[in-house]
Amino acid sequence: MISPHGADALRPLFVTDGKDRAELLAEAESLPSLVLNSAAAANAVMLGGGYFTPLDGFMNLADAMSVAEEMRTDDGLFWPVPILNLCADVGGITSARRIALRDPNVAGNPVLAVMEVGSIEAAGAEQLDTVVRSVFGTGDDNHPGVSEFRSLGRYCVAGPIRVLNFSYFERDYPDTFRTAVDIRAEIDRLGWETSVAFQTRNPMHLAHETLCRMAIERLGADGLVIHMLLGKLKPGDIPGEVRDACIRKMVELYFPADTVMVTGYGFDMLYAGPREALLHALFRQNMGVTHLVMGRDHAGVGDYYGPFDAQAIFERIPQDALEIRIFGADHAAWSKKLGRVVMMREVTDHTPDDYLVLSGTNLRTMLSQGRHPPPEITRPEVAEILMDYYCR
């Protein structure tokens, strides 16, 4: 099986021993507390689940700047996006050596992790701007990732953590949320030597389904891991439970049994385009898959990135930076000529009129009006679930 990134074995930071966890929870009640923002809480969940192996916690400012500018930590580990705990106010923890990190996304702000405070540093405006422009490729505050990052605060609280729960993800998505440890163990149990991951924050339409089939067939893969983002999205994106129901129905009806894992992870979408694509590949390597489907405008938003920038960045990193490989996919659409979904670059005799394409806006309008999208776009059973959501 593919090796974890930068380590011989996964390094999940979740405390599995019940006695140790109870003692840490008890200790946390007497420690100074910091209520995290959603981005930092999501980072803690990913660290807990082993997705961010081999990190042992939140990065300090030197690592963050090195990652932003060079895609390497200070000690040379390849890493594409800083993993930070930024906050606006550190008044209650300035002299603390250990602190309780509290969950902003659960009522009562329960303890999410305990942290050894390595450093508390105030980032300068130029440093924060460098991170923004390096990671997002733009300083435009209309970019949802940029505006979110700028709202987090300027204090960088760094140090190793021990994670005590997985926030709301286990509670709200008990059949879907899985750690990198869980997925790696299941791939090993199934004996998959070559496996493909598909990243999604949306329901999967027929084109997505076809891209997954193409990847499986062309790579000779043993199985597919559909890995959906369960964390914070931008306004207008479809809620996790609706996406989950759509994907499970598609897998149940249209894929052979025991060839697909439907899973999800607790992370907030960054919309950082190429840099986020690298991070997506890195933590898929940690969960054990050998390939990641990389489609058009992966992790993008608006017109901030070129349609294939997220694929091209993999050609600019060192060969040994990541072991996982991508399956580069073009835009897929229904060919009226051939009567099937195709990747557009593979059919050179087609004109735009030879494709059936619906924009996301048109598709949402159709669904909200209770009109079935054509089966060339969306499986009928998936359309029913989406119509029920849009017509509530």
Q: What is the mean pLDDT of residues 214-219?
A: 98
Q: What are phi and psi of 88, to 5 degrees?
A: -90, -20
Q: Which CATH code fits 178-390?
A: 3.40.50.620
* pLDDT at residue 181 in the model: 98
**Is there a catalytic annotation at residue 202?**
yes
**CB-based contact 387:372 (threshold 8 Å):** yes
Q: Which helix (H) or strand (E) holds 284?
A: helix 274-286
Quick check: 244 and 228 in contact, CB under 8 A? yes
Domain with CATH 3.40.50.620 in the chain: 178-390
Provide CATH 3.10.400.10 ranges for the chain. 18-170
Q: Which CATH superfamily is domain 18-170 in?
A: Sulfate adenylyltransferase (3.10.400.10)
With contact defined as beta carbons under 8 Å apart, do 33 and 57 qualify? Answer: no
**Is 142 a catalytic site residue?**
no
Q: Which of 21, 133, 202, 325 is catalytic?
A: 202
Percentage of residues in the chain with pLDDT exceeding 70?
100
* CB proximity list for 42: less than 8 A, separation 6 or greater: 231, 232, 266, 267, 268
pLDDT in tens, 159-215: 999 999 999 999 999 999 999 999 999 999 999 999 999 999 889 999 999 999 999
Instruction: Read off the pLDDT band of 244 (50, 70, 90).
Output: very high
pLDDT given at position 78: 98
pLDDT band at 361 (very low <50, low <70, confident <90, very high): confident
Task: Say whether pLDDT at 367 is over 90.
Answer: no
73: which residues sit within 8 A by CB, 6+ positions away? 59, 63, 66, 67, 79
Whether pLDDT at 216 is above 90: yes
pTM tops 0.85? yes
What is the chain's mean pLDDT, rounded? 95
Look at residue 75 in the predicted model and tell me its pLDDT.
Answer: 95
pLDDT of residue 345: 94
Q: Are strands 155-163 and 111-116 parallel, antiparallel or unpaired?
A: antiparallel
Asked whether 99 and 31 are in contact (CB, 8 A), the reply is: yes
pLDDT tens profile 263-304: 999 999 999 999 999 999 999 999 999 999 999 999 999 999
